């Protein structure tokens, strides 16, 4: 059946009641009538390592993974898992080198770091940039892709209604502050992983036995074997230049190029993510981040394998007609964003409800964390610094709650107006998010890295990376329209984009690499010139002893690196 049945709704209702009740219990238990803004926005000192780790994953895994990444798995295969697996290695780096700097210097927001290290102008520009990025790219995409998914599973709910219901549920969670978000994320991740594993299990069994009668481990492993045989081209992590998906994942750039920029910026310089760890002590923060790294290794099993299984079933004609499973192809266009919802429609009653709850948990947790970060930046870095420096703690907390509601309302409006145009039929929603976030990533990462580890970096150099990096990203995006770059083709830096009519362009991973290198060199030159003129930059307190790790953390990090080595060796 394509619609949810009574058993599915009962499972989903159970999930909703558990999350809401636990969130209310956490709020009442940890409620403080004299709560400060740091208590509300950061849950200062309240989150345990397991709460930090699960909250990181709950905030990260959302509609862009379940829908966008699963759709990319349908189209290009296991290679899209590089975002998840390389993130595990990145989290180790962030835990060792980034978090100690933030905690040692009592930094609670990313604009605060920029203000403390550079100046207020750089901090304010980036605060506005981040608000724009979070609302226009992240809230819009999560709401729209999430609504597509839920509508695909339960068509009795229109896409517009799904957008509104997701927004309301998320705001309810977000209004409780980071304590409620952090601890309810533990339950959200439980449903997310359990429901995702169930969907993968059923999908592989359906590949093994299309009748759906086989539901055991033998059927699952049999289905996995068939998937690897019948979609062997979907099990290569590193694409060659002649692969049609090369422009999205350009070969070795995923190992030694732009993927590092994407991940280091996302996991290390992103308020939305680092906020989970900034209220804890160093040992707790590192343990939580390492735990998140291990969970990231599991994510492709939940979001990518179902997409590849859907591809195999699609090749067998499973989704070609408007049957109970729904269609993936409409008007001659294969909409990969519908791969995961179409697959969920094949699940039995109850299991479908569990998968539905998992999907909703991922979307709601991500939305709640995102609007909390938006409220944090607006309240602490814009309102308190530029508008009302004397604002009381109570006023800041109340303004934060208002900011949560307003930012979500803006996200809903943008999802209504732009969602279809940007992520509609035939478009990979996951690539939209990554490419447009990549307009900001290189300059931001250059500014942060030099700000951390090079005391001579100046404020004007940071401005160059901030504004100049964004401008350069736009230039490299549209440069192929005005210049012949064919001399770059043999090196893989100029390739056809088959999602854009085969037009040649610079793969966005390589664009990020070029912009990052130019930003670093530009910052170095500007800083050297200003240093000679007597400009003395603000420095941070950095001590090499900060980077020493415990034996347990070191062992966990080595295990992650060994697992990644095996994965890339097997699926190269």
Q: What is the pLDDT of residues 61-77, one digit of tens each?
A: 776 677 778 888 888 88
Q: Report the pLDDT value the prediction gives residue 335, as an integer from 0 to 100.
A: 67
Secondary structure (3-state) at 496 = strand
Mean pLDDT of 77-93: 91
pTM here?
0.80
Q: Report the pLDDT value the prediction gives residue 324, as an integer from 0 to 100.
A: 38
**Residue 489: phi, psi to the nearest 5?**
-60, -45
Mean pLDDT of 459-479: 90
CATH 1.20.1730.10 fits 6-24+37-430, yes or no: yes
Range list for CATH 1.20.1730.10 in the chain: 6-24+37-430
Pick from 117-131, 146-160, 383-397, 523-537 the range whose average pLDDT is largest.
523-537
Predicted confidence (pLDDT) per residue in 160-194, tens digit: 898 898 888 888 877 766 666 666 667 767 777 77
- pLDDT over 90 (residue 529): yes
Contact 367, 142 (CB under 8 A): yes
Residue 42 banded pLDDT, cuts 50, 70, 90? low
Average pLDDT, the chain: 80
Give the pair of three-digit tokens for residue 480: 């192929």
Mean pLDDT of 94-112: 86
Q: What is the CA radius of gyration of the chain?
A: 23
Strand partners, 503: 497
Q: Report the pLDDT value the prediction gives residue 90, as an integer from 0 to 100.
A: 94
DSSP string, 1-60: --S--HHHHHHHHHHHHHHHHHHHHHHHHS--TT--HHHHHH-TTT--HHHHHHHHHHHH
Mean pLDDT of 395-417: 87
Residue 321 banded pLDDT, cuts 50, 70, 90? very low
Q: Report the pLDDT value the prediction gives residue 306, as an integer from 0 to 100.
A: 85
Q: Report the pLDDT value the prediction gives residue 293, as an integer from 0 to 100.
A: 92
Contact 289, 88 (CB under 8 A): no
Lowest mean pLDDT among 114-123, 361-370, 378-387, 427-436: 427-436
Q: Report the pLDDT value the prediction gives residue 40, as an integer from 0 to 100.
A: 57
């Amino acid at each position: 059946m394509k619609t949810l049945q009574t058993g599915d709704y009962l499972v989903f209702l159970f999930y909703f009641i558990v999350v809401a009740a636990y969130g209310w219990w956490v709020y009442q238990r940890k409620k403080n009538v004299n709560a400060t803004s740091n208590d509300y926005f950061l849950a200062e000192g309240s989150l345990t390592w397991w709460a930090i780790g699960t909250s990181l994953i709950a905030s990260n895994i959302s509609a862009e993974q379940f829908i966008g990444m699963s759709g990319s798995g349908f189209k290009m295969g296991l290679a899209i898992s590089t975002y998840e697996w390389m993130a595990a290695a990145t989290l180790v780096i962030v835990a060792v080198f980034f978090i100690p700097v933030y905690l040692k210097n009592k930094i609670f927001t990313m604009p605060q770091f920029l203000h403390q290290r550079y100046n207020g102008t750089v901090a304010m520009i980036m605060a506005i940039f981040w608000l724009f990025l979070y609302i226009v790219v992240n809230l819009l995409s999560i709401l729209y892709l999430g609504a597509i998914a839920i509508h695909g599973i339960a068509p009795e709910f229109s896409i517009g209604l799904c957008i509104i219901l997701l927004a309301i549920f998320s705001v309810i969670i977000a209004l409780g502050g980071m304590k409620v978000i952090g601890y309810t994320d533990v339950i959200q991740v439980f449903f997310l992983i359990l429901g995702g594993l169930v969907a993968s299990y059923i999908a592989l069994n359906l590949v093994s036995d299309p009748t759906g009668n086989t539901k055991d481990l033998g059927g699952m492993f049999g289905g996995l074997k068939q998937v690897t045989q019948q979609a062997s081209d979907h099990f290569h992590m590193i694409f060659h230049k002649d692969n049609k998906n090369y422009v999205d994942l350009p070969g070795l750039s995923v190992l030694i190029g732009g993927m590092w920029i994407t991940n280091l910026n996302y996991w290390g310089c992103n308020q939305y993510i680092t906020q989970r760890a900034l209220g804890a002590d160093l040992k707790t923060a590192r343990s939580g981040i390492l735990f998140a790294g291990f969970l990231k290794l599991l994510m492709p099993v939940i979001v990518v394998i179902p997409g590849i299984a859907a591809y195999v079933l699609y090749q067998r004609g499973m989704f070609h007609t408007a049957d109970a499973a729904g269609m993936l192809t409409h008007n001659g266009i294969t909409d990969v964003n519908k791969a995961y919802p179409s697959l969920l429609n094949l699940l039995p009653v109850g299991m479908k409800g569990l998968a539905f709850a998992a999907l909703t948990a991922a979307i709601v947790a991500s939305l709640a964390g995102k609007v909390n970060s938006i409220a944090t930046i607006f309240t602490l870095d814009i309102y308190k610094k530029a508008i009302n420096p004397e604002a009381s703690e109570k006023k800041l907390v109340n303004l934060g709650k208002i900011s949560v509601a307003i930012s979500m309302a803006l996200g809903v409006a943008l999802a209504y107006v732009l969602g279809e145009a940007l992520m509609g039929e035939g478009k990979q929603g996951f690539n939209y998010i990554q490419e447009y976030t990549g307009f900001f990533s290189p300059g931001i990462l250059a500014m942060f890295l030099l700000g951390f580890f090079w005391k001579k970096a100046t404020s004007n150099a940071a401005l160059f990376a901030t504004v100049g990096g964004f401008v350069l990203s736009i230039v490299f995006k549209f440069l192929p329209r005005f210049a012949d770059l064919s001399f770059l083709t043999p090196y893989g830096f100029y390739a056809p984009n088959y999602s854009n009519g085969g037009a040649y362009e610079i793969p966005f991973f390589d664009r990020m690499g070029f912009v990052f290198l130019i930003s670093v060199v530009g910052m170095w030159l500007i800083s050297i010139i200003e240093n000679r003129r007597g400009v003395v930059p603000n420095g941070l307190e950095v001590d090499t002893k900060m980077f020493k790790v415990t034996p347990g953390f070191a062992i966990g990090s080595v295990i992650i690196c060994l697992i990644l080595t095996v994965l890339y060796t097997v699926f190269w």
